[in-house]
A and B are shown apart, each in its own frame.
Chain A
Amino acid sequence: MSNLIRFSGPYGYFLVLLALVVLFVTVRATTNLLRHSPPAPKVVTEQLNSLLFWGGVAGILGFLGQCDGAYHALTLILQAEEISPHIVAEGFVISFVPTLFGLGILGFSVAAWGCLHLLVRRHSTLLLTGGAQLLLVLLLFSGCSAVPVADGPGAISEGVWSLEAGRDEFLWEFSEEGNGFTCMVHNMVGPLKLNETPCLTVEVEGGRVAISMDTGVRLEGEVDLGRGRISGHLLYPDGSDREVQLPWYAREDYPGLFPLGRSDDAYAYAPPSELDDGWAVASAVDVGVSPEALEETVNAIAEGEAGVLHSLLVARQGHLVTEEYFHGYGHQDLHHLASCTKSISSLLVGTAIQSGTIGGVDALVADFFPEYRADLGSGWNTLTLEHLLTMSMALDWSPEEAENLHGTGPEFFRRALSRSVSGTPGEDWAYVSANVNLIAGILYAATGQHAEAFAEETLFRPLGIEAWNWDGLKTDGFNLMDGSLRLTPRDMAKIGQMVLDGGKWNGRQIVGEDWLDASTRPHLNTGDWAEGYGYLWWRMEAPVPGGKAVPVIFANGWGSQFIAIFPSLDLVVVTTGGNEYNGKHLAVAELLERHLLPGVGGARP
């Protein structure tokens, strides 16, 4: 009943008043009827008719309430740039409440009128039927009061609070910790959970909440647990703000929030599906991988040990033995590779060298850009392709540019080529993504094809890769070589398997073995957790049981996108994930070391 009044707005109070009138008239007419022996006086039967009158007034008033409420809600909705179907649907459910309320009163009036008329005529059998009818209306009425809108949560830490922004939906989830709260923002797109971002500070006091993010954005608002809504403002660092409403939903409304869907069951190992895409599949035990280790790994992912992973694929001895997806993802979903794209770029340079269109890694980078000769900074006469591939060009980018600059196309090439050498090329290793994008111009100059067309011809088609997307930040046909490629995890695993097999896929040589040897060998020390850097491939040692370590070659994309190749274990592991903002990018390494690698037996001879 409280929902009926609450969601009917001011109309609710009048509808309650009319409901009381109908109830009073019913009781009055019933008492008068029972007091008189038949036939009932005319004045009593006339009283019955007023039931219909008041019921009708309630029905019309309820409908007016719906129209009035819907008009105001839709006025606000249309002011937004993007219309959210979710909010429209929710608004409409609420707007129906006064109509249901009014119709409930009308239904009760009609049923009571019918019953009392039968009482006037002393038709006891029919009266029984009428009574049942009245009971039914009452039940429907009470059902209506419960069904339209669920109650809000009991506490702010129950469920999630939704903020829609275009195609994205941000779910704010609060957790109690000690005497305070923490908050995680889950970024959803449809049924998929993309990533998660922890809030920097969370203050919940009384009915108010104030949250800050490390981007400088703040959310301040009032929490209405009864209505299940946070109303407030998003405050941006530039001083602007936006009024927002965050309705509450149960976590169960979003299966993508759960790694394994809504199932609470522990994962039980099952071999991957045969998809006729070139992959041979096998049961883990047939290739010397412990199913228990795989189960342990997947269950650890389900418990969040590696943050947000979207997929885990394991291939051994050329057979795919595990293919699991999480947070709503599936085998058909193209996933962004982030900086794993750089390693693919390295493969493309290798095939161009192999075919003779590029002389070799000693070729001068500047020679591929003759039209920009006038713009060249100092030192380009010494910078080779090898310097570019090993991240050792030593250009004088500002620290901010070195970390964040992404771009491609003629204007970007001009900008990059205008930088000057400020250190020792070939010795000073620095992870600068921007430089890698020069490969787009180099490949075009050497092959006459843009990277995507060249990759399709020399890499994707031979590997049986049929779906990809490389449109992100593409400029004048030039692809972004340091990121933005999207592939399915199965196709990422094909690339790993091909590198493991010396450039062969299903017996066909696709990339030269010599090139792979050279490009996956450590050329420079990176100075941090990885042992070395090849030609846009990373290299490190992974600990295995017995106090030993095995070498790992890997493509490394921000957010836990990995193609990891363990040559001595004849093993390829692929992960995709959404660990961009939660500090768990490298949690996968620990996950594999702790749960998977101990279950991989029999090293490659």
Chain B
Amino acid sequence: MSDFSAQLRHISARLPIPEPARSRVLLEIATDMDDLFRHLVEGGMAPEVAEAEVAEHFDLSDDALRELSQIHNSAISCSFGKLSGQARSTWERVILGLVALFVSPPLLGAFFLQPTLLQDASLLVAGLVAILALGLGVGLWKAAVLFRPIQPRGPIPRRGLRSLPGITLLLLFLGFAGIWVELYRSALAIRITPQMALRYLVEWLHLASATMVVALSGALLTALLWFFLENRASHLEEKAAAAILEPTA
């Protein structure tokens, strides 16, 4: 292992992207530098020569850095980064935690306390529950990964984390789709027996609200889960990036 901190500090100062993407890019460059250094040394090169070789290889131009930044900081990544960058202080996180705790009971209640919520919802609720289970599974898996000890200079395992906002959007989409599908079915029923219109409409509203309770609370839960995990990952990345920018003793 060699010390590229000086070169990394130089790169960091020229990287045109904000946190948390900056730390992520720096960590990737540092990992690549370490890999290349190791490869050269294992190939028989003297460490000093290998270090110079790596330094030369990673002497990136401004254009190369801009290109690298664009790869790691697309519009979507930038938005996600900005979003997850909010509410960094402890008191803000406590409030978000409270909201997450408050949202959970109606959802958990649907399974353990009030099973009628699921019976009363649209047929698409089965899909909602399956996707929510997937989201919670991904969230728990990522939590297990992010909260265990991680190599100080290694990349932070982010794989799968981005699927959580996708699951959130899918839950919302399915919730609204369920409402419209059921509205269509109610309209068909009303066409046959118009005198029952009020009852059918009230039944539809009942079903729509049950579906949206599942979809919205599921979406809010997966979104908050992503928020905390994303923050955890960013925090680890910043910590790791700070470590690699420090010269080794």
Contact = CB atoms under 8 A, between A and B. Distances in A.
Contact of B202 (A10, A18, A21, A83): A83
A64 interface: yes
Interface stretch (A68-76, A138-146, A239-247): A68-76
B85 to A, nearest CB: 7
Interface of chain A: mostly helix, strand, loop or mixed: helix
A438 to B, nearest CB: 38
Interface of A: 10, 14, 17-18, 21, 46, 49-50, 53-54, 57, 60-61, 63-64, 66-68, 70-71, 74-75, 77-78, 83, 85, 88, 92, 95
B198 A67 contact: no
Interface of B: 82-83, 85-87, 92, 95-96, 98-99, 102-103, 106, 116-117, 120, 198-199, 202-203, 205-206, 208-210, 212-213, 216-217, 219-220
Contacts of B86: 49-50, 53-54
A71 B208 CA distance: 8
Interface of chain B: mostly helix, strand, loop or mixed: helix
A61 B220 contact: yes
A83 B203 CA distance: 10
Contact of B206 (A18, A64, A68, A78): A78
Contacts of B103: 61, 64
Contact of B205 (A14, A46, A74): A74
Given A49-B82, A68-B106, 16 more contacts: A10-B102, A21-B92, A21-B95, A50-B92, A53-B87, A57-B96, A60-B220, A61-B220, A66-B209, A67-B212, A71-B120, A77-B202, A77-B206, A83-B202, A88-B198, A92-B205
Contact of A74 (B87, B106, B206): B206
Contacts of A85: 198
A55 to B, nearest CB: 11
Contacts, number: 77
A60 B206 contact: no
B209 A67 contact: yes
A74 B198 contact: no
23 contacts: A14-B99, A14-B102, A50-B86, A50-B87, A54-B86, A54-B87, A57-B96, A57-B99, A60-B220, A61-B99, A61-B220, A64-B217, A67-B208, A68-B106, A70-B206, A71-B206, A74-B205, A74-B206, A75-B120, A77-B206, A83-B199, A92-B205, A95-B209
Contacts of B120: 71, 75
Contacts of B213: 64, 67-68, 71
Contacts of B98: 14, 17
Contact of B216 (A49, A64, A83): A64
Nearest to B18: A42
A271 B117 CA distance: 62
Contacts of A92: 205
B132 to A, nearest CB: 14
A167 B100 CA distance: 45
B231 to A, nearest CB: 12
Contacts of A50: 86-87, 92
A60 B216 contact: yes
A73 to B, nearest CB: 9
B209 A53 contact: no
Contacts of A14: 98-99, 102
Contacts of A88: 198, 202, 205
